[in-house]
Amino acid sequence: MLDFGTAKDAPNGEQPAAARSLCASVPTAANSAEVLAAVATPLRYDSGGLLCAIAGYPRAGCGDAAGGGSGSSSAAGGSAGRGEGGPDLGLIAGAGAVVLLGAGAVWQARRRRTR
């Protein structure tokens, strides 16, 4: 499945190709670059080996931010929508789970000693 994104995410002056589903006939040991090369040429890489374009899209650039954002921290994956200064819910839940597991282990150890 190749999904080139939306027109909103496209670089200025470009229109992404329609999403398409393709099958590639490649050797079992083929890597993802070989699979793409079989169905979506041309591929464009930068000098460091980063894949920059699939099927010629986008025509220029490599690794640019999608959506033509203003470069603010929220467009670049900043902390938009999060509360200031507090830890994430996942961190709190994970710490709570560790405490519960530790307490359960202590309880089981004491229970076995008293038998």
Q: What's the pLDDT score for residue 31? A: 92
pLDDT at 83 over 90: no
pLDDT at 27 over 90: yes
Residue 23 has which token pair?
A: 């099958």
Of residues 73 and 89, the one with the higher pLDDT is 89
Could you give the 3-state DSSP secondary structure of residue 45? strand
Q: Residue 79: how many CA atoms within 13 Å on its side-chain side?
A: 7
Q: What's the pLDDT score for residue 98? A: 95
Minimal CA–CA distance to 54: which of 110, 111, 1? 1
Average pLDDT over residues 53-80: 67
Per-residue confidence band for 84, with pLDDT thresholds at 50, 70 and 90: low
> Cα 12–16–19 angle (5° rounding)?
160
pLDDT at 85 over 50: yes
